[in-house]
A and B are shown apart, each in its own frame.
Chain A
Amino acid sequence: MKNRIKTLLSNNKKGILSMYFTAGFPALKDTVTIAESLASAGADIIEIGIPYSDPVADGPTIQASNTVALKNGMRLSMLIEQVKQIRKTVDIPIILMGYINPVLQYGIEKFAKDAAEAGVDGVILPDMPMDEYLEHYKKLFDSLNLSNTFLISPTTSEERIRKIDQVTDGFIYAVSASSITGAKGKFEKQQLDYFDRIKNMKLRNPYLIGFGISNHDTFSMATKYGAGAIVGSAFVDLLKNSKDLKRDISAFVKSLKNGQSH
């Protein structure tokens, strides 16, 4: 099976919209509904968060969604079953993003195998050290055609960005600011300088910009630089308040891409 992320990113595709949400939030079974709605609304990548009790890189919105999801009874093994169900109708790339401890307890090897088998294309584990990955897991991930995404931030050195680029086969996640996750309305000049800097590095992998992308303005600005952008907190906020997931998701995705008010 070809990796859907690589297929999507081939041919220099631009304007990619990746949507992040927490599995099992607002309700346990919403994971499937949300993923299906995203795919039919025209999102390009689905990024599903594995809930964790101590998400240190996340702001209040995603923290709260993690807490609710865990109270709902969400767990990693259940998420993998949900992905299988999503795969019955959805064919866009699916990425699982989460902190390393739940994955360690599941067993990283078993996780990689089960996730790939369920139809997951990529994994983002922000607190997995690069050396650890290269030494112990890269071979396995490669053999399963599972792509692993590393983060970079404004304080990441050029040397390290080059190294990350070298060991990545998929895309790089460019965190838009020195910050935890959270929706913001616009970018500061120094963020645009940083996007420029990465753009000028002519990396071999495309990069998607995430953290602080919340509306059409920030999405279209980010996609002037990167191949795409990732929307998280703003989407989780919308889910929290939604009375009609399908309708609201469709409107939100359209507004992000096209700028219609929503």
Chain B
Amino acid sequence: MKYTVNAKGYYGQFGGAFIPEMLYPNVEELRTKYLQIINDPEYQRDFHKLLKDYVGRPTPLYLAKRLSNIYNATIYLKREDLCHTGSHKINNTIGQILLAQRLGKQKIIAETGAGQHGVATATVCALMGMECVVYMGKVDMERQRPNVERMRILGATVIPALSGSMTLKDATNEAMRHWINNPTETHYIIGSVVGPHPYPDMVSKFQSIISEEIKKQLQEEIGNSFPDYVFACVGGGSNAAGAFYHFLDDEHVNLVAVEAAGKGLTSGESAATTALGKPGVLHGSKTILMQTDDGQVVEPHSISAGLDYPGIGPMHAHLFEGGRVKFISATDDESLKAGIELSRAEGIIPALESAHALAGLSQFKFEKDDVVVVNLSGRGDKDLETYIKWGKY
């Protein structure tokens, strides 16, 4: 596979492990053991059993007829919103908690933006009886309040990140600091395909179940496992990595990543990393990130907490640079409208992150028989306050 990670932990020029020495033993332990652990048949059996019985996989691939009519295409929704806890994030946390157990770790830390990864982490920690600390930007704690309480009900400690823009980037900084301070018994469950090698590869492997299922389901549904298009939103890029994974080498499948344009690409309040960023190092990997010419990371903005991040995973940086994936962006407003549109057309209220993927549809001109898969990464319950505040429905 030409787009997977190489032996040194790089995707083309991107990736690597740019970490302070204090984290080296932890990351090195992961690097040397992760493949052996996750390829073990017993591990695979446990992983797939939990995905089936606990998460509720396979998630449906649903033919959205009324949405198809609006866009003059044949649109399928991959229903990750129906996963236990309401988003794709749990595919990864199940994978990592089983790994943490096999590494002999007792404590778990995580960062979260929208709170979906935090909830998914708190959930698997409750399931396995492990201690859980989640860092979340103070701003995100306010705009995703229900998820904060969900984590607390599940027994996790939620610690506000008070630096920078008090969003996902800052929560990630705090989680890394916590890991430096507690290196031996703690595993850090990173929530997206970001971070030092081997995280991006590991998380994309856990999420690749999404495209594995899409292929099978399309085969059953239309007698062909290849869609013409796959759309997914990109914060760090884990749901997109999962939805694209098994199509990467099939160049006839158009892969579309939708970033958050915030208030507009030129507004100064945006999170559209590939449009506004350039190569640099953030959170342990070389990737594309939004930064000043002095190398200071720019505070991003998006109405969607899960996309409010100034970087993308290194694999996506590589896919963008090589042109394999088309990167587009949708504004706050366009995404809110797309979220309401799906609610009215199909009776599904999407997460604001997923609403960005939907908002990408209007930027394409399809043929009626074009098979388009939109990865509906999460459900919108957590975003009701934001929808209500916006009010145009």
Chain A residues packing against B (C-beta within 8 Å): 52-54, 56-57, 59, 63, 67, 70, 75-77, 99-106, 126-129, 131-132, 150-153, 155-157, 160, 175, 178-180
Contact = CB atoms under 8 A, between A and B. Distances in A.
Contacts of A150: 21
Contact of A132 (B16, B26, B282, B295): B16
B16 A104 contact: no
5 contacts: A57-B20, A57-B22, A57-B177, A76-B295, A102-B294
Interface stretch (B72-80, B180-188, B371-379): B180-188
A105 B280 contact: yes
Interface string B6-22: 00100000001111111
Given A63-B163, A155-B184, A179-B181, A53 B296 contact: yes
A127 B296 contact: no
Contacts of A103: 295
Nearest to B170: A54
The 7 closest A-B pairs by CB, nearest first: A105-B295, A102-B295, A151-B21, A126-B20, A53-B296, A75-B294, A57-B20
Contacts of A56: 20, 173, 176-177, 180, 283
B239 interface: no
A54 B280 CA distance: 13
B56 interface: no
B360 to A, nearest CB: 29
B104 interface: no
B18 A128 contact: yes
A100 B18 contact: yes
B53 interface: no
A54 B25 contact: no
Contacts of A102: 294-296
A175 B183 CA distance: 14
Given A104-B281, A127-B284, A157-B25, 12 more contacts: A52-B296, A77-B294, A101-B280, A101-B295, A127-B281, A129-B16, A131-B8, A132-B16, A151-B22, A155-B184, A180-B180, A180-B181
A54 B169 contact: yes
Given A54-B169, A156-B25, A101 B181 contact: no
Interface in B309-350: none
A70 B296 contact: yes
A53 B164 contact: yes
B40 interface: no
B297 interface: yes
B24 interface: yes
Contacts of A157: 25
B295 A104 contact: yes
Contacts of B20: 56-57, 126-127, 151
A131 B176 CA distance: 22
B280 A104 contact: yes
B291 interface: yes
Contact of B180 (A57, A75, A132): A57
Contacts of A153: 21-22
Contact of A175 (B8, B16, B21): B21
B173 A126 contact: no
Given A100-B281, A179-B180, A180-B177, A105 B291 contact: yes
B18 A127 contact: yes
Contacts of B180: 56-57, 178-180
A129 B18 contact: yes
Nearest to A106: B295
Contact of A126 (B21, B176, B183): B21
B55 to A, nearest CB: 32
A105 B294 contact: yes
Given A155-B183, A156-B24, A53 B297 contact: yes
Contacts of A70: 296
Contacts of A53: 164, 296-297
B251 interface: no
A230 B163 CA distance: 26
Nearest to B294: A75
B293 interface: yes
Interface in B167-202: 169, 173, 176-177, 180-184
Contacts of A75: 294
Nearest to A59: B177
A129 B10 CA distance: 13
Contacts of A155: 22, 25-26, 183-184
B13 to A, nearest CB: 12
A100 B281 CA distance: 7
A129 B28 CA distance: 12
Most chain A CB within a 10 A radius of its CB, from B16, B284, B294: B294
Nearest to B293: A105
Contacts of A54: 164, 169, 173, 282-283, 297
Nearest to A157: B25
Contacts of A179: 22, 180-181
Most chain A CB within a 10 A radius of its CB, from B177, B183, B282, B284: B177
A129 B295 contact: no
Contacts of B163: 63, 67
Contacts of A77: 294
Contacts of B279: 104
A234 to B, nearest CB: 18
A153 B282 CA distance: 22
